[in-house]
Chains A and B, each alone.
Chain A
């Protein structure tokens, strides 16, 4: 039986781009993603958290800038690159949050919250690994850094987090941004297996968001139809 590894041409089901003939991936422009992040109202004005979201990042390969994505990573692969960048940011943010919690910067941390952050971080790491395998199988470099502009925005927000609710709000915005981006991608992803992967991660990110809504005292299922307002895809 032919295995996926035996057929590099379609190893991930996502073929190498033959040029930009479909909607382009915006990566993370300040306007789209920053607008979502700007909705976050963090705990307080005192910048007591010392970790930042770069702390757990990789070393060399950044998420695609708008230029890079449109120039050389069209189609499904461009979306995979953007998705990987979002996952790096999520992993780094949860890592920084856990470090801040362990350092006592966020006050008392309920066991369920620590468990949530640990599990969500691991699941975002799995999602990152999945997208990076798609990319490397297609001959692209793995993404190990978050998009610089979004990272800067998140770091700025993170520096104002002083308590668990503040961290939960920031995390929820990241979860919604990721989930809504994955949903938005359904209209443009061509490979069925890429749509399935995006959908399977969208589900989990939406579930993270539901629990974060509840933790924040909000109704866990606030929408009748999931929106794409926070998507970082170019419309």
Chain B
């Protein structure tokens, strides 16, 4: 394996610097959210908003779901993508009186809690702990990034007057519990991690249509933009592991030795499809 560990470490440090900048930006909107949260404290459910939520959803469904005639014209609405979006939009409001944005943030927190725990467990496996240095570094860095996402979602939950979710997402916890005893090699771990990253990406994508608060939407989109890169990286890693080319998982890369397919495996479709999205109430606190 060819790994310039010093260079890799420098890149991670650079990433941490970028993180510090991003956190500063996130903190900048915190007072606004706290103010919004305070305005919601002790307030009865916003019936107008719940009505608007349902009205919007019904309008979208009435117009063929998703409303994207663009995609309909290209037959995409007849695909799993269209079905998934219809499914998301067709769900009833989880609980009348519940704050949908808070529910969404709690569910997002639950996914991040689970992701951190799963990467932590993976790092305890000997073939990860003592395996490919790039894979190990990726797992460590990704775990830390998910933990920052957890903190951001929990903080915003509280800023909106909700209770921070500290528990893992129940449906996906079951998936992880079932998978952990079966993890025998890096490919197994990468496949499990990719599933969790896709669930997170798809959930946050679906949330963009449902969230009312622009600041929360921005946070959701910002985290989505990172989870999808985790997913892309894992797809590339999986492809190389499946091709028995683990030696090519290196930084700097040996691009000339990669098969052609490596150039497209990370993004199999022009539009992300929220097929694995969890509904808002999936990880919400009852």
Binding site for B on A (CB under 8 A): 1-5, 7, 10-14, 108, 110-120, 122-123, 126-127, 129-131, 133-134, 137, 164, 179, 182-184, 186-188, 191-193, 195-204, 206-211, 214-215, 217-227
B12-26 interface bits toward A, Cβ cutoff 8 Å, 1 = contact, 0 = none: 101100110111011
| Contact yes or no, A111 B223, CB < 8 A | no
Which of A10, A131, A201 counts the most chain B CB atoms within 10 A? A10
Query: What A residues does B12 contact at CB under 8 A?
Result: 219
Residue of B nearest to A220 (CB): B233
What's the Cα separation between A210 and B26 when bound, in Å? 22
| Contact yes or no, A204 B256, CB < 8 A | no
| Contact yes or no, B70 A206, CB < 8 A | no
Query: What B residues does A117 contact at CB under 8 A?
Result: 263
Kindly identify which residue among A1, A5, A114, A183 contacts B225, using a CB–CB cutoff of 8 Å: A183
Known contacts A13-B60, A211-B232; is A226 also within 8 Å of B221 by CB? yes
| Contact yes or no, B69 A5, CB < 8 A | yes
Interface of chain A, helix or strand or loop or mixed? helix
Which of B62, B148, B230, B272 counts the most chain A CB atoms within 10 A? B272
Which of B210, B220, B221 counts the most chain A CB atoms within 10 A? B221
Known contacts A215-B255, A220-B233; is A114 also within 8 Å of B263 by CB? yes
| Contact yes or no, A219 B226, CB < 8 A | no
Known contacts A4-B64, A200-B273; is A207 also within 8 Å of B231 by CB? yes
How many residue pairs at the A-B interface have CB separations less than 8 Å? 259
What's the Cα separation between A154 and B218 when bound, in Å? 28
| Contact yes or no, A199 B15, CB < 8 A | no
Question: What are 8 A-B pairs with beta-carbon distances under 8 A?
Answer: A12-B68, A12-B69, A193-B68, A211-B263, A214-B233, A220-B232, A226-B222, A227-B25
| Contact yes or no, B141 A221, CB < 8 A | yes
Cβ of B66 < 8 Å from any Cβ of A?
yes
Known contacts A13-B63, A187-B218, A214-B236; is A206 also within 8 Å of B228 by CB? yes
Query: What A residues does B266 contact at CB under 8 A?
Result: 207, 210-211
Interface of chain B, helix or strand or loop or mixed? helix
Kindly identify which residue among B21, B225, B253 contacts A202, using a CB–CB cutoff of 8 Å: B225
| Contact yes or no, A217 B68, CB < 8 A | no
Shortest C-beta distance, A227 to chain B (Å), equals 6
* Chain B residues numbered 230-272 whose CB sits less than 8 Å from any CB in chain A: 230-233, 236, 251-253, 255-256, 258-264, 266-267, 269-272
Query: What B residues does A224 contact at CB under 8 A?
Result: 15, 18-19, 22-23, 144-145, 148-149, 226
Cβ of B181 < 8 Å from any Cβ of A?
no
Kindly identify which residue among A10, A112, A127, A215 contacts B260, using a CB–CB cutoff of 8 Å: A112
Known contacts A119-B267, A197-B70; is A113 also within 8 Å of B205 by CB? no
Residue of A nearest to B272 (CB): A203
Residue of B nearest to A193 (CB): B67
What's the Cα separation between A14 and B70 when bound, in Å? 12
| Contact yes or no, A220 B7, CB < 8 A | no
Shortest C-beta distance, B228 to chain A (Å), equals 4
Cβ of B120 < 8 Å from any Cβ of A?
no
Residue of A nearest to B18 (CB): A223
Q: Which of B71-79, B94-102, B123-131 contacts A (4 or more CB under 8 A)?
A: B71-79
Known: A4-B64, A13-B67, A191-B67. 6 other contacts (CB 8 A): A183-B218, A195-B217, A215-B253, A221-B229, A223-B18, A226-B221
Kindly identify which residue among A118, A129, A223 contacts B226, using a CB–CB cutoff of 8 Å: A223
Known contacts A10-B63, A196-B66, A196-B85; is A219 also within 8 Å of B251 by CB? yes
Query: What A residues does B148 contact at CB under 8 A?
Result: 224-225
What's the Cα separation between A127 and B74 when bound, in Å? 12
| Contact yes or no, B226 A225, CB < 8 A | yes
| Contact yes or no, A221 B226, CB < 8 A | yes
Query: What B residues does A127 contact at CB under 8 A?
Result: 270-271
Cβ of B215 < 8 Å from any Cβ of A?
yes
Query: What B residues does A112 contact at CB under 8 A?
Result: 255, 258-263
B189-220 interface bits toward A, Cβ cutoff 8 Å, 1 = contact, 0 = none: 00000000000010011101110001101111
What's the Cα separation between A118 and B62 when bound, in Å? 37
| Contact yes or no, A203 B258, CB < 8 A | no
| Contact yes or no, B232 A130, CB < 8 A | no
The 3 lowest CB-CB distance pairs between A and B, nearest first, are: A13-B67, A115-B263, A226-B225
